[in-house]
Structure 1
Amino acid sequence: MSKNFKRTLITTALPYANGPVHIGHLAGVYVPADIYARYMRLKGEEVVMIGGSDEHGVPITIKARNEGITPQQVVDRYHTIIKDSFKEFGITFDVYSRTSSKIHHKTASDFFRILYDKGEFIEKTSEQYYDEEAKQFLADRYITGKCPHCGNERAYGDQCEACGTSLSPLDLIEPKSAISGSAPVLKETRHWYLPLDKHEPWLREWILENHKEWKTNVYGQCKSWLDMGLQPRAVSRDLDWGVPVPVEGAEGKVLYVWFDAPIGYISNTIEMCEKEPKKYGNWEKWWKDPETKLVHFIGKDNIVFHCIVFPSMLKADGSYILPENVPSNEFLNLEGDKISTSRNWAVWLHEYLQDFSGKQDVLRYVLTANAPETKDNDFTWKDFQARNNNELVAIFGNFVNRALVLTHKYFDGKVPDRNRFSSYHKDTMYEVYASKYELEKFLSEYRFRDALRCVMDIARVGNKYLQNQAPWKIYPHDPEQVATDINICLEICAILAIVVEPFLPFTAKKLSNILNIETKGKWYTFGINKDFESSNITWSRNIVEDEKQLDYNKTILHVGDSIGIPELLFEKIEDSVIEAQVQKLLDTKKANEAAAYKANPVKENVAFEDFMKMDIRVGTVLDCQKVPKADKLLQFRIADGLEERTILSGIAKYYPNPEELIGTQVCFIANFEPRKLRGIMSEGMILSAEDADGKLVLIQPRMTVTNGVEVK
């Protein structure tokens, strides 16, 4: 339902402070949110963007325990990394705080107490797993066992990461405590629950009837949950890290992180307003005034919490506004595999900023152009390189650079006069304005990928125009025509500097500095009549139906304005740079495979006497070479303490320079019956170990021993 609002409150999902931020987080939440916030500011709207670190929850306590430090030390480390990375990447939070702050603890505690005093919770006693050795109840992530669906023996009590199935601790086969390794027992414990079933009737009307404009994935997931029927959900946990439950007799219990974390949006807003009251006013105008538009930017794994659970919490209080929209993206995969923090399978933001200094906008561009808005998408380094080289460099950067260079070459770096504004020039600017208005429509619908395409369409119009006019050819005989052409090109450059700002803010700043223009508040300052309102335009692809609203004489640049010295907006990314990033991922995959390696089951027992029948000896390699026309075979000539023998071994793939083995010692079975291979008699078997990756490694003594000694 469309409605006019006085202001907009944007929130972004709070990242867990148990690790850095990766490209999946950026593509799903933070880049789209920042685009929207920057767009609203360009229009002169009153808007704030609220962010912060989620610093409670079991993953943080597990990491602290594994590292032998306190949870506070964990969150202090990662909160700093995350906050600094966001700032360097150009994510424009009005506040970025944390849920371990005093103001958050008070806000969350007060929120719970209000609902508790109103009777909005129910108390229930249930059986949960308890570690008798550690003397504590176990959160879901502190319980491991075999997945009943795929057999993965390292599944958690809430999810199997191997098959992705959601679980409960009672589903696990042979559960174990992740703390002590012992088998947990079931023990009664008391907790408070939010009765979501009580809120189901109004949620059904509010979402299914009043918000059909929500994205399909959001609306569909909400409908699915509502159709299944909502159940009471616990709001407390048996832990010692978090916001203590502010009720007598609740010692050792904290607010469940899903209840605690979204209140962080409120507490962070309070903190922001208390620090700068003149700029932001009272916090309640952002959360309790119906003329404020609340928009949650989240990933799809948070849809239920932000569309059903958190609204139920706000409704139970009764004084808060509800979200107007919850734009949620799908997941971004990496090189064909699911991004995983635990497996280190990710492109981490802080590492990207180190490896690609000054290229924040390249990643912002790629993540937006390939945004998983309607389905899961895949990030690859080759695509990253191609989009930079073939789009940013070849289209956007190429047009701007040529226009600026020609300005200095022919007009001493000044904006020339628009002497001959013909119908062709008008048609060109019409295309530009039409793309700009369509861009605005897409932004208002949270379709950022399509909106970015409109920006690039403007650059394409400029490229096409410049190539068609070819001012370098006609300047000698018609400089007045070239003046008009360059004027048009510079105006398109100025328009690009404004419309690209939400997407590529560093590029916009560089370009606006060269053009000596200010982009802030300039969204409606060109190509339109005074009384124009964007709602008056009917959009279709590159067509503005109500063309009379356009004013081709209303421009950003003016005749005589000085243009700065041109500089490249983007640089080509070489193959070697991309190859280094791909190799880093390959190294990570190899390390993961090694860490996950599990030895094969021990074979059936054999009698000692059978083992003693094998004659295992040590000999020195006298010669080693590849067997002709046999890719796998190496031919060894070995001094075995008695004479010499020839043994063939299928390890050529792993020893490409067999001559390097000459003079080394190897272990071999001396009493295997000789057999002919490739016409060569092999008199034994060289012993090798097969590594986790399938590589065969020769078994060799660490010290030189006498040839022919037996291995016992």
Structure 2
Amino acid sequence: MAKEKVLVTSALPYANGPIHLGHLSGAYLPADIYVRYKRLNGDDVIYICGSDEHGVPITISADKEKVSPKVIIDRYHEQNKKAFERFGMSFDNYSRTSLPIHHETAREFFLNFYKRGLLIEKKSLQFYDEKAKMFLPDRYVEGTCPKCGNEQARSDECEVCGSLYDPSELINPVSKVSGERPVLKETSHWYFPLGKYQPALEKFIDEMNQKYGWKENVLQYCRGWFKDGLKDRAITRDLDWGIKVPIEGADGKVIYVWFEAVLGYISSTKEYSQKVNQPDLWKKYWQDENTKYIAFIGKDNIVFHTIIFPAILMAWNEGNQDKYCLPQNVPANEFLNFEGKKFSKSRGWGIDVDEFLDLFPADPLRYCLAANLPENRDTDFYWKEFQLRNNSELADILGNFINRTFTFVFKHFDGKVPPLGKLEKIDDEMLKTIESYPKKISDLFEHYKIKDGVNELMNLAREGNKYFNDTEPWKTLKSDKERCGTTLNICLQTIYTLAELCSPVLPFSSEKLFKMLNARPVEWPLCGKPQLEVGHQLNQAEILFPKIEDEKIEAQINKLGSTSQTEAKKEELITYDDFMKVQLKVAEVIEAEKVKKSEKLLRLKVKLENEERQVVAGIAKSYNPEDLVGKKVVIVANLQPAKLMGLESKGMILAVETENGGLNVLTVPENVNNGTRVK
């Protein structure tokens, strides 16, 4: 495979809180594994990240603590940077968007667009707190959603039903700064003409997908935005914290974080170039058409990296000679939950990376997360599963194979690689197996199937154990020592290959394993071939993966007990009469379609006995619409109507949650009449 020039970025985390395990599974661990693999493959790789240090969440945190935003960003930037280092992240540069070099980069883009007449100045109404004497960002206003009645909706968007609306439509708005009712006041902002770039963006994404195979969840998200039509987006905000708008008459305005944060990838690369005393090095990656740019993100950042950032770069490219490369792929992951529920800082549900690494080493966590990445659907972290993967896979499969081989070699061959004798069929097959794995895993990593690649890594360890058992060196030691040596030589060659294949996933353990082998890595494609010469002296082995005792895991599970018990107390028992009020009826699905801009919802039209009604159900991740048409399902027929994503839902579909987090809709035989009561 030809060597590539690869630029890799991971989403910039907000510097207003600690990194937790969900963050790692989304944007960071998959990227780190990919980057480490590409480096071993001999590719020219640079890996860029940093803290996103502007935006309203940071000012809210600062207001709560009654400190300046700088106190917040300094604290969490350093905390998260160290947590990433402890976890083994191999960033070439981890920057900050509060640095002068980032402000300069963002102002350069803004002024370029402004001077070219690309930006549009518009007047609009925005909430203003007369007591605090300030315009209020969306997150500083709370009220009742005009669509679904959610009483904690933002000024222009409801997180419950997903509706977008004009701030003037918000019911009973309240300022989170003063607690007073804000007024709508006219202000002016500059807008980026995002809609202008929709045709180019659709063509770009279609071409990239045809060439490189984008993930379906990413494509569906983009198609939803395109279907609604891209619109002009404000590029400025009335705030004190952020990058000041660099033109006259813009006092009290900053460049909106959605526009400038993604430029942090460019400014971070510039900072790296300065650190290595090659000021123009960043251009080698960002302004070369041969660069392969891959952006690793979580699904909540899809729009920014597939639509907004590419549009910004397109806008620059059409007016400048020095053109930026656009992402070749954006392999966004779904969400990782914690013990069946979403990570929640406010409820104390979850665990931060630093907390975890105070209890356990990084590599078992890396392995557990990598083997369960939410690549195509949400997944869960469970303490028991973490223990099981460490003990049953890392310790009993990989660790056991390494330990039994080293023990045999040191006890019976003076710790030196034994010579190869006459090869039998089983030996030839094992050598071919070893040689096949680097390419097998490489093919998966190249297509961002990190989880599958990690599972194949463990499969090679299984193959090694099977070969050890089938060749029975404990027997051939007595009957044919040369045959025994052949077995152990091939086992050591397998361990060498495993040491390299493990390196992207288990970097700390791989380093220890190479030290035990008294060897160094070679380029990835060569590691499947025998590398250890006969007579090569090994170093003493150590236990790479100690088993985790039940008591240690039970202690962590018990910590969750208080939260679980608190929630359990809220669950009130109901009477038989209460239950009998619920009308469960059979309904036939006659129409089904996906709800635009929603990954979870389907709009169904169902037929009861003498009526048809619309039901919105959160089952889109488990069913295609066509799978449901014609099915007889059970619905709650007398549920008060509700609005979801602006659609009225008159009923609820009954479904069973599966072990992997999916949903199985309850169905009834086709001969049951529509409208039949279920009791």
Normalised TM-score (structure 1): 0.76
Q: Give the CA deviation at 1:328.
A: 0.5
2:629 aligns with: none
Which residue of 332, 341, 346 maps to 1:328? 332
1:288 aligns with: 287
Contact 1:361 1:507 in 2 (8 A): yes
2:314 aligns with: 315
Q: 1:152 to 1:345 in 2, by over 3 A?
A: farther
2:664 aligns with: none
1:195 aligns with 2:198: no
**What pairs with 1:74-89 in structure 2 (closer than 5 Å)?**
74-89=72-87
- The code of the aligned residue for 1:445 comes to H
Q: Give the CA deviation at 1:4.
A: 6.7
**What pairs with 1:20-31 in structure 2 (closer than 5 Å)?**
20-31=18-29
**What pairs with 1:614-629 in structure 2 (closer than 5 Å)?**
none
Q: 1:29 to 1:146 in 2, by over 3 A?
A: same
Q: 1:491 to 1:99 in 2, by over 3 A?
A: same
1:523 aligns with: 524
CA distance in 2, matches of 1:469, 1:441: 30
RMSD: 2.0
Contact 2:47 2:92 in 1 (8 A): yes
Q: Give the CA deviation at 1:312.
A: 0.6
Q: Give the CA deviation at 1:172.
A: 3.6
CA distance in 2, matches of 1:171, 1:414: 78
Which residue of 316, 322, 344 maps to 1:340? 344
**What pairs with 1:516-665 in structure 2 (closer than 5 Å)?**
516-519=518-521, 521-527=522-528, 554-588=529-563
Q: Give the CA deviation at 1:165.
A: 6.4
1:248 aligns with: 248
Q: 1:495-531, CA deviations, whole angstroms, 9 ceiling, x for partnerless residues?
A: 0000110111011011111001112x4312244xxxx
1:17 aligns with: 15
Q: Give the CA deviation at 1:43.
A: 1.0
Q: 1:125-177, CA deviations, whole angstroms, 9 ceiling, x for partnerless residues?
A: 11011111111111111011234565443333365566676776455431110
**What pairs with 1:125-140 in structure 2 (closer than 5 Å)?**
125-140=123-138
**What pairs with 1:421-436 in structure 2 (closer than 5 Å)?**
421-436=423-438
CA distance in 2, matches of 1:158, 1:463: 59
Structure 2 unmatched ranges of 5 or more: 318-322, 572-679
Which residue of 55, 69, 91 maps to 2:53? 55
1:414 aligns with 2:412: no
Indicate the larger mover: 331-340 or 500-509.
331-340
Q: 1:479 to 1:148 in 2, by over 3 A?
A: farther
- The code of the aligned residue for 1:566 comes to A
1:222 aligns with: 222
- The code of the aligned residue for 1:567 comes to E
1:398 aligns with: 400
**What pairs with 1:695-710 in structure 2 (closer than 5 Å)?**
none
1:486 aligns with 2:484: no
Structure 1 unmatched ranges of 5 or more: 528-553, 598-712
Q: 1:417 to 1:166 in 2, by over 3 A?
A: farther
CA distance in 2, matches of 1:274, 1:556: 39
Q: Give the CA deviation at 1:585.
A: 2.7
Q: 1:563-599, CA deviations, whole angstroms, 9 ceiling, x for partnerless residues?
A: 11111110111111112222223334567899x99xx
Q: 1:224 to 1:39 in 2, by over 3 A?
A: same
2:175 aligns with: 177
Contact 1:345 1:589 in 2 (8 A): no
1:300 aligns with: 299
1:108 aligns with: 106
Q: 1:253 to 1:281 in 2, by over 3 A?
A: closer
Indicate the larger mover: 253-262 or 280-289.
280-289
Contact 1:50 1:93 in 2 (8 A): yes
Normalised TM-score (structure 2): 0.80
Contact 2:439 2:525 in 1 (8 A): no
Contact 2:500 2:527 in 1 (8 A): no
Q: 1:433 to 1:20 in 2, by over 3 A?
A: same
1:454 aligns with: 456
- The code of the aligned residue for 1:498 comes to E
- The code of the aligned residue for 1:234 comes to A
Contact 1:436 1:455 in 2 (8 A): no
- The code of the aligned residue for 2:102 comes to H
Q: Give the CA deviation at 1:431.
A: 2.0
CA distance in 1, matches of 2:218, 2:343: 21
- The code of the aligned residue for 2:258 comes to W
1:388 aligns with 2:387: no
CA distance in 2, matches of 1:324, 1:88: 30
Q: 1:397 to 1:168 in 2, by over 3 A?
A: farther
Q: 1:342 to 1:428 in 2, by over 3 A?
A: same
Aligned length: 564
Q: 1:363 to 1:492 in 2, by over 3 A?
A: same
- The code of the aligned residue for 1:180 comes to S
Contact 2:33 2:504 in 1 (8 A): yes
Q: 1:569 to 1:167 in 2, by over 3 A?
A: farther
1:38 aligns with: 36
CA distance in 2, matches of 1:526, 1:128: 61
CA distance in 2, matches of 1:234, 1:4: 43
Q: 1:562 to 1:325 in 2, by over 3 A?
A: same
Q: Give the CA deviation at 1:15.
A: 0.3
CA distance in 2, matches of 1:44, 1:94: 16
1:275 aligns with: 275
Q: 1:147 to 1:387 in 2, by over 3 A?
A: farther
Contact 1:368 1:452 in 2 (8 A): yes
Which residue of 346, 359, 381 maps to 1:355? 359
Q: 1:372 to 1:168 in 2, by over 3 A?
A: farther
Q: Give the CA deviation at 1:482.
A: 0.3
Q: Give the CA deviation at 1:329.
A: 0.3
CA distance in 1, matches of 2:236, 2:567: 35
Which residue of 497, 500, 503 maps to 2:502? 500
CA distance in 2, matches of 1:308, 1:253: 25
